[in-house]
Each structure stands twice: as C-alpha cells, then as structure tokens.
Amino acid sequence: MVEDVDLLSVQEARTLLRRAREAWNTLGHFSQDKIDGIVAAAARAASDASMELAKLAVEETGYGVVEHKFVKNKFAAVDVYRFIKDMRTVGIIREVPEKKLYEIAEPVGVIAAVIPSTNPTSTAIYKILISLKARNTIVLSPHPAAKKCIFATAEVMRKAALAAGAPQGSIECMEHVSIEGTQELMKNRSTSVILATGGMGLVRAAYSSGKPAFGVGPGNVPAYIESSANLVKAVGDVLTGKSYDNGTLCCSEQALICDEAISRQVREQVTQQGGAFLTAEQMRAVEKIAVLPSRLANPQIVGKSAAYIAEKAGITVPSGTRVLVAELQGVGREYPLSIEKLSPILAFYVAKDWRDACERCKEVLRYGGMGHTLSIHSQNRDIIMEFALQKPAYRIIVNSTATHGAVGFSTGLDPAMTLGCGAYGGNITSDNITPLHLINIKRLAFEIRPVDVKAAVAEYSRQEPAMTQVPSPAAGGGLPTVEEQVARFLSRRGLAGSSPTMVSPAANPATERETDPARKQTPAPSPTAALEFVSEQDVRQALEDGRKLPIGPDTILTPSARDLGNENSVFIRV
C-alpha cells in the first residue's frame, strides 16, 4: 500500500501542534527556576551528544566537516546556553521606579521552527533552547535531506526536558516531511510564531503565512582587506571563515576584496594559506557545476570540500587546497561565481582604494546579501567607521572571520544561529535572535500625572510661542534671533554649547560687513569643546547651515569627512 506522504505530513503537523498547544497551557505558567532547570537539562543533553549528532548530520546530508559541526553543536548547546541562562523571561523582568512602570514577560505560545539541511543539528539545538527559555513549546519541521539527524537532536533534548519536569509535547519534531506539511505547520491557528531558516522561498512563505515570523535573508558576505591590515591574519581569517564546515553558514565569506597597493602580497598569502587561484578555463568549469541557470548555488556542491568540487569540475588543484579562488571583474548574472555559494569557492576582487572597495562591497551585498554581514580587516579606525556608517549590512565584523564573528563566537554579538537582515533583507529585525524575541512584554503603568483638563489647557497655553504659533513682530514677541535658531538647531543635534559665537543682536550684520572689511575677515572665536566624531554627513550639514565644526587631536574623522571639510574650510581646531 502506497501512503500519501503529503496527507500524512499535514495530519502530523496538526497532531503535533495540538500536543504542543496543550503542553504550553502548562509550561507557560512555570516559574523562572522551573524553566531554567528544564533549559539546563536540555542543553546538557545536547552538549553530551554533540559529536554523535555531528556525525549523523554529515552522514545523512553529505554536507560539511564532522569536527566543525561538532563545534557548532557545542556553540549552540554551551555558548548560547551560557548567554541565556541568567536571562529573566518570567514575571517582572524590568522596573522603572521613577516612572512607576513595570515590564512583565509573557510567552508567545507555540513556535513553528523550520530547520535547514546545511546546519541541521546546531540550529535545532539553538531554536529549542531559546524557545523553552521563553516558556514556549516548539514543533520542528526538518529539511527532508536532514530529517533523521534533526529528529535525533529533538529526541535527545525532549527526553532530558521531560526528565526535568517539562510536560509531554514541549518539544516535537515532524517525521513525515513535505511542503504541504510545513505550510500547515506555519499557517495553523495553533502556531504563534515562526522561526524560519532556509532559502528565500521558504522565508517568503513564512512571512506570507499570516503569522508573526522571524525569517533570515541570504548572506552574500564581502570581506574587505584594507592596506593597513595585518595581511597574514586577515587572509587567514577569510580562508578560515570560507572553508569552515565547507562554507555552509550563511555568514561565511563569499568575496575577498583588497586594495590594489597590497594585491600582490594578498595573492601570495592566499596561495600560501591554502587558496588556489583558478585560471579562466578552470573558472568556467567550476561555474558549470557550482551555479544553476537560475543563478542559485547547485545543491550538489553545497557543503562539499574544495577537492571534491575540483574533481567534479575536472580540474587539478594543489594538494591541501582549502578554497578555490576565482578572480572576477564584476558582480551580477554575467559573473556566476559572484553569488552566495555555500561552499569553499571564493570570489576575488582588486579595488583601487578603500572608496572603490566600498562600492564593490555594496555591489556584492546588493546581489543577494542585503542587510546580512560584511567583514573589514584594517587598522585604520576612520575607514572602519566609514564602512560601519555607509554599508547596507547589519553586522560589520572587524578583524575576525565573518563566519564566527556574525554568530557571536569570536565577537561580542549575541550568540545565535538565526541572524536577522532587517528591512534591507525583507526581515522584521536586524538582530541576532534570542529568547527575548520570543516573548511579549506586558507593561504595568501607574499614574504619575493626575488628569485635569482645565489645568492642562492652561499649561499648554503658557508654552513658549514656538510651541504654538510664530508671533509677528507687531505682536511684540518678535521672531527668534539668529542665535536662538542656531542654538535650537544645535541642541536638536546634540551639539548644544558648541556653536560659534554670533554677532550681537543689537548690531546690523549686513551694514558691518559692508563698512568694516577687517571684520569680514575675522573668524569667529573658536569653541572650547571639540567633537568626538565627525562623518561626511556632519560636514555636509555644517556647510548647509553655515557652521564651523570644532575638532581636536582626539576627534575621529572619517576619510570622506576630512576631505570635504578641508576643501571647504569647515573645521576649527581647538
């Protein structure tokens, strides 16, 4: 008898969601101590099983490296747990005494978690822990190519959670997987929030399900090596990030961009540290097997080693090659290897200088990585800040691998396996997702200002003229003076007290400019407070307002701000 997998999958989704909803009616009322004990037990069980689960994942999917998946599993079970273990997620989580305001955590309910094949076990561990910590139950929908290892992960953590007091149904995982079943899981009225990790089609389906959803966009991550960087470490970081678990993390480096002035040294380091530059003929051979006509990565090479890809492409590379490097002249459909490849294939670009590199990074991000991650290797703080201010990426990783930095392994970012891309990537958040994203906050607010309408009318009627209407000079109030207007403007920009001294309101500035040439050439007295940081936008605003910007030895100037400011004599040195 042939079973209808689609119908089985839909029915299973409904059954598991019903169990999870019933379990949540109990779990959602647990104390902080009870929840923390359950989370600790589940994390410990996942940590103990990390190597076994890593082997299952590689055996079933054929993706990645066992040792690297082991580290990912440990990161999810140990690092993520350490980050969340003391987090308040039950009852009053914040008090603001001066406002008589209290914030109270409320669980959202049942989490529908879609798990990818590229990082199956580590993502499952992470999503289970953050869901339980927020007092939510969870139902997992595995990728069909990784359903055995994901189900095994859920079982390990389910048994531990039950032993610690979690109700039956707190952790569930589908065994019969289909598109229809996953759609039912996301759309069913028992589902409260969706945690979707996968391709853009899946993420769009999650957002169109009618349920609140945390989806993530693709990560076509550029890595820029600037002339002042420690080249040995910078190249090592890029190749380590690109080859880690054979490039299966969406935050792994996809393109290396370096300055022309250091391109020879960078090439040498790439070759010395395990990168193999492809000839034009070899590049075409790799393109054929790595990139589909739709300009998506071919699943047949995702998570495979450089040696495996080279063999399939029919090319020869040196023994020990970690990464295949393709030097490209542009980004887009005409350059197939400029996409996110999810394998140890790295695009390589040479830029004239940091400004040219800046534009190339933007091109790479626009071609499938908007809002995700960018890395920069540099010792020039001004250029680092310029990149942070100008790039359409929400994680700027400095002097570290993008792969490990974005998830919070090598940086201070919140440790997570789901990385939001914000509005740039069509996501609801730009955060690394934590338990705090899976709670609602109830606010208890006491009266701090008695309501008296007559008194309020009288109070607002006494507000300064600028708050109601601008008086005419005939009314006796007069228009705000130039000094007052400048002071208000600077105050709004947080620069109060830094404005240049203005001419006396009793004087006639126009007359004095005409009759006193010496006064025309006399600069305004210098302010005493130097600004801490000046960007190009600050300079443009100062030019528009006719202001000078006070700077000192410790002021941080972005390169474009310095050029524009010096060109227009905007700066006053104090």
CATH number, domain containing residue 105: 3.40.605.10
Same domain flag for 414 and 489: no
Same domain flag for 88 and 13: yes
Same domain flag for 98 and 127: yes
Same domain flag for 212 and 310: no
What residues form DSSP beta bridges with 91? 105
Task: Give domain status of residue 430, yes or no.
Answer: no
| Contact status, residue 66 vs residue 54, Cβ threshold 8 Å | yes
pLDDT reported for residue 557: 77
| Contact status, residue 274 vs residue 268, Cβ threshold 8 Å | no
Q: What's the per-residue H, E or C state across 173-196?
A: ECCCCCHHHHHHHHHCCCCCEEEE
Task: Give domain status of residue 461, yes or no.
Answer: no
As given in the structure block, the two tokens for residue 383 are 């250029």
Task: Give domain status of residue 408, yes or no.
Answer: yes
Q: Helix 381-390 vs helix 559-567: angle between axes, to the nearest 10 degrees? A: 100
- The Cα 205–Cα 186 span in angstroms is 9
Same domain flag for 400 and 276: yes
What residues form DSSP beta bridges with 375? 223, 397
Divide the 574 residues of the chain into consecutive groups of 10 and give the mean pLDDT of each group.
79 98 98 98 98 98 98 98 98 96 98 96 98 98 97 98 98 96 96 89 85 88 98 98 96 98 98 98 97 93 97 96 98 95 97 96 95 97 93 96 98 97 91 97 96 89 62 49 56 49 39 40 56 81 90 79 84 90
Residue 532's domain comprises 480-573
Look at residues 96, 140, 138 and name the one whose alpha carbon lies nearest to residue 121.
Answer: 140
What residues contact residue 22 under an 8 Å CB cut-off, 6+ apart?
167, 169
Task: Give domain status of residue 251, yes or no.
Answer: yes
**Of all helices (H) and strands (E), which one includes residue 567?**
helix 559-567
Same domain flag for 201 and 335: no
pLDDT reported for residue 491: 58
- The Cα 94–Cα 39 span in angstroms is 22
**Domain of 301: which CATH number?**
3.40.309.10
Task: Give domain status of residue 66, yes or no.
Answer: yes
Same domain flag for 154 and 236: no
DSSP 8-state code for residue 400: S
State the CB neighbour count (10 A cutoff) for residue 366.
14
Phi, psi of 535 (to 5 degrees): -105, 175
Task: Give domain status of residue 365, yes or no.
Answer: yes
Is there a catalytic annotation at residue 251?
no
Task: Give domain status of residue 376, yes or no.
Answer: yes
Sheet holding 439-445, edge to edge: 91-96, 101-107, 439-445
- The Cα 135–Cα 26 span in angstroms is 10
pLDDT reported for residue 479: 53
DSSP 8-state code for residue 167: P
What is the distance in angstroms between the CA of the first residue and the CA of the last residue of the chain? Answer: 86
pTM for this one?
A: 0.81
Same domain flag for 174 and 248: no
pLDDT reported for residue 81: 98
Same domain flag for 101 and 45: yes
- The Cα 501–Cα 504 span in angstroms is 9
Q: Of 394, 427, 444, at which residue does a domain stop?
A: 444
Same domain flag for 185 and 275: no
Same domain flag for 403 and 440: no
> Among 149, 250, 258, 361, which one carries the catalytic annotation?
250
Task: Give domain status of residue 551, yes or no.
Answer: yes
Same domain flag for 294 and 244: yes
3-state helix, strand, coil in the chain (%, to 5): 45, 15, 35
Report the domain count for the chain.
3
As given in the structure block, the two tokens for residue 87 are 């987090």
pLDDT reported for residue 464: 62
- The Cα 188–Cα 112 span in angstroms is 10
Residue 572 CA to chain centroid, in angstroms? 37
